[in-house]
Amino acid sequence: MSSEDCPLCAEAMDATDLAVQYCSCNFQMCLWCWNQLCEQAQRDALPARCPNCRSEYNKDAITMGNVDPDL
């Protein structure tokens, strides 16, 4: 697994996946895994939490950096 693979599903992350910061611990995952995590938390009536540090996600704090067009 390279550093550009999603740690949850092991699929290659694209430039958009790499530009999103969901948590202050800088754990990165692909958008598909992010959506699956949030949908499962909603079904379970629980807050979505970072798989790395277990902090509850604050959707207002998610940031999107510049997408590298060369990726």
For residue range 14-51, list pLDDT tens digits in order: 989 999 999 999 999 999 999 999 999 999 999 999 99
pTM listed for this prediction:
0.82
- pLDDT in the model for residue 52: 96
pLDDT in tens, 53-68: 999 999 899 998 888 6
The string of DSSP letters for 17-30 reads: HHHEE-STT-----
Q: How far apart are the first and last CA of the chain?
A: 18
Going 8 to 21 to 59 to 12, the CA torsion angle's sign is negative
Higher pLDDT, 20 or 1: 20
Domains and CATH numbers, the chain: 1-58 (3.30.40.10)
Predicted local confidence at residue 69, as pLDDT:
72
CA distance 70 to 4: 14
